[in-house]
Amino acid sequence: MFDALTEKLTSAIGKFTRRGRLSEADIDQGLREIRVALLEADVNFRVAGDLVNLIRDRAVSSKVVASLAPGEQIATIIYEELVEILTSDSNALLPSPQSPSVAFIVGLQGSGKTTTSGKLAMKLKREGHRVLLVAADLRRPAAIEQLVTLGKSIEVPVHAEATDTRIDDVVKNALEHAKRISANWMIVDTAGRLHLDDELMEELEKLKNIASPTESLLVVDAMTGQDAVGVASEFNERIGLTGLVISKLDGDARGGAALSISRVTGVPVKFVGTGERQEDLETFHPDRLASRILGMGDLATLAEKAKAEITDEKAKQLEKKMRNATFDLYDFLEQLQQLRRMGPISGIMEMIPGFSSISKNISSKSMDDRNLDKVEAIVFSMTPLERRKPEILNGSRKRRIASGSGTKPQDVNQLLNQFNQSKKLMKQISSGKNLRNMRGLLG
């Protein structure tokens, strides 16, 4: 996410922080680099200009220039102004006084509306809401089938009707369906087009009059660049948006739309799609995104992901095993599986402060989630006794395990080394010692 932009911004900021004193010429040169980095990332040129001007106005003040550490102060100013650019109105979903609250998911065809509808349904379900999904894209039978499949996978009911049904009737019937099952949120996956046209807008306006949604969320593909700003402005003018969802931020997108869209349209970003899994929809926090863009990590989101996967009971059990030195390969495998459920390893690692500065030195192969498949295969090829007591593994046992898992004996040795390093780290944590080296754990 924002890899190229992060690299260039951190490089420019580094030039500020490495100098003991800064002149206005130094500041202007650094800000030129920041402006170019923003424009290359598809940030709207007006937004990029405003951001750089705001940073300069604060940076050239006598207090900053005369400071003993002006570079650090400028880095703080850049972060604060970036947060301000990303901040709009409330990022929370607005429920209706009377159930069901209705959320319209709108956007161009291919932006990820149907997938986002499923992700939002799962997110609301996890928060304790009863949700009904509505297949209102009658022009694409595949969209209806996709939504029904998504609904089954996350155990959320889907209201779907034949494609020759009038769209007005679909929404009216869905409202009755939602009331019958006492759903407090109804998510409507609306039709899209390859481009904006009056027919699409008129249909959406008609459906809004019927369902009175409290939320009209536009899904914008991060890969569309600055065109996303124009699309959002048009949708907002015609149907009135309450929020934006930036999809596919995990791809090769330059990400500038996320930095521009709220400032240009005045519509807040409420969610960002960060992966293909149903869990990969994050609530938008301007400060957290700014922190990630500047390579400062995002420990708050990382903690939330960990909390969702590790219950208090599991944490207490793990703590007991750590104290009693009974942490075995069963526990090691469970920890890796919990890590996998939190999302792609590369996405998790970028939330760790400072990781962006060392990521170039780490091979992409070591960050490949398929390594976890190899670990699982090796552990599953062991006997229960070997998993509980890996110290009994001799050469012949390792060769048998490697043969059974389709790996090599050295792969088994590498796994055992990682396990022993993790076990040592657990022991240090439980004894309260400072950790001086985490390289082995990440290896």
**Tens of pLDDT along 214-229?**
999 999 887 776 777 8
Band of the pLDDT at 2, cuts 50, 70, 90? low
| Phi-psi domain of 406 (left: phi exceeds 0; alpha: psi -120 through 50; beta: other) | left
| Cα 238 to Cα 236: distance, rounded to the nearest angstrom | 6
Mean pLDDT score, 355-369: 53
**For residue 139, what is the domain's CATH number?**
3.40.50.300
Say yes or no to pLDDT of 252 above 60: no
Determine, yes or no, domain membership for 96.
Answer: no
Strand, helix or coil for residue 102: strand
Query: Which residue has 């796994």 as its token pair?
Result: 415
Average pLDDT over residues 210-215: 92
List the single range of 147-161, 330-344, 375-389 with lowest mean pLDDT.
330-344
Query: Same domain for 306 and 291?
Result: no
pLDDT top residue among 306 and 76? 76
Nearest alpha-carbon partner for 191 in 228, 136, 245, 153: 136
Locate 251 and state its tokens: 């791809």
314 contacts 307 by C-beta, under 8 angstroms: no
CB 320 within 8 A of CB 378: no
Packing angle of the helix pair 70-86, 3-17 (nearest 10 deg): 150
Q: Are both 79 and 32 inside the same structural domain?
A: yes
In a domain, 112, yes or no: yes
Same domain, 289 and 323: no
- 281-295, 331-345, 387-401: least confidently modelled range: 331-345
Average pLDDT for 355-371: 55
Based on the fold, state whether residues 109 and 194 are members of the same structural domain: yes
Do 290 and 310 belong together in one domain?
no
The answer to whether residues 216 and 246 belong to one domain is yes
Query: Which has the closest alpha carbon to 216: 123, 96, 99, 87?
Result: 96
Our count of domains for the chain comes to: 3
Say whether both 415 and 433 belong to one domain.
yes
pLDDT score at 9: 82
CB within 8 Å of 175: residues ≥ 6 apart: 100, 102, 186, 210, 211
pLDDT band at 317 (very low <50, low <70, confident <90, very high): low
Same domain (yes/no): 311, 270? no
Please give the model's pTM, rounded to 2 decimal places: 0.69
Which of the listed residues 53, 86, 119 is the one where a domain comes to its end?
Answer: 86
Instruction: Report if residue 401 sits inside a domain.
Output: yes
438 has a pLDDT exceeding 50:
no
pLDDT, averaged across the chain = 80
Give domain status of residue 91, yes or no: no
pLDDT for 173 equals 95
Q: Which long-range contacts (CB under 8 A, 24 or more apart) does 23-32 make?
A: 23/65, 24/60, 24/65, 27/56, 27/59, 27/60, 27/65, 27/74, 28/56, 30/74, 31/55, 31/56, 31/59
For residue 312 the two structure tokens come to 């208090």
User: At residue 350, does pLDDT exceed 70?
Assistant: no
Q: Is pLDDT above 60 for 55?
A: yes
More confident residue, 256 or 100: 100
Q: Percentage of residues in the chain with pLDDT exceeding 70?
A: 77
Question: Which CATH number belongs to the domain containing residue 359 in this structure?
Answer: 1.10.260.30
The pLDDT value given to residue 442: 40
Domain end residue (candidates: 86, 113, 148) = 86
Q: Evaluate whether 275 touches 250 at the Cβ level (below 8 Å).
A: yes
Between CA 261 and CA 211 the distance in angstroms is 27
Same domain, 227 and 355: no
Range of the domain at 432: 302-442
Amino acid at site 377: A
Q: Is the domain of 192 the same as that of 273?
A: yes
Residues 174 and 234 in one domain: yes
Of the candidates 32, 58, 86, which is a domain's last residue?
86
- For the segment 284-298, the average pLDDT, to the nearest whole number, is 76
Q: 441 pLDDT band (50/70/90 cuts)?
A: very low
pLDDT at 434: 42
In a domain, 236, yes or no: yes
User: 308 falls in which pLDDT band (50, 70, 90)?
Assistant: low
Q: Check whether residue 428 and residue 318 sit in a common domain.
A: yes
